[in-house]
Amino acid sequence: KAGVTQTPRYLIKTRGQQVTLSCSPISGHRSVSWYQQTPGQGLQFLFEYFSETQRNKGNFPGRFSGRQFSNSRSEMNVSTLELGDSALYLCASSQGTSGSGDTQYFGPGTRLTVL
């Protein structure tokens, strides 16, 4: 079974631009969660989508948004990029929603650098 895939793997953007990251979950998984990982803050939860609906949202500004499609693929968008948005963005998929006890499996991440 193929794992979680994320595209692109690397991105370089400048301040003020916007960016869209894509995630394809493991086949059969309906939940996709997004995380931001930085050396100082560790892994921080952004949001979770299940059956095209946002189920949970972390403590991030509205510049961070996402969506999920009917095939469970998900995208996250960051508008008006700031230097502090430079991070590894990770996507994780699971069969059930958060709180179900299902294991989350992570993709390789997208490394975003904002100049």
Partner 1 sequence: EDQVTQSPEALRLQEGESSSLNCSYTVSGLRGLFWYRQDPGKGPEFLFTLYSAGEEKEKERLKATLTKKESFLHITAPKPEDSATYLCAVQDNYGQNFVFGPGTRLSVLP
> Which is nearest to 36 in space by CA: 54, 63, 15, 69?
63
- The C-alpha angle with vertex 56 and arms to 50 and 105, in degrees rounded to 5, equals 60
Could you say whether residue 67 binds partner 1 (CB under 8 A)? Answer: no
Pick the piece of the chain touching partner 1 (CB under 8 A) from 12-20, 54-62, 64-72, 76-84: 54-62
Give the Cα separation of 110 and 115 in Å (integer).
16
Measured from the CB atom, the residue of 66 and 109 that comes closer to partner 1 is 109
How many positions of this chain bind partner 1 (CB under 8 A)? 27
Residue 72 engages partner 1 in binding (rule: CB under 8 A): no
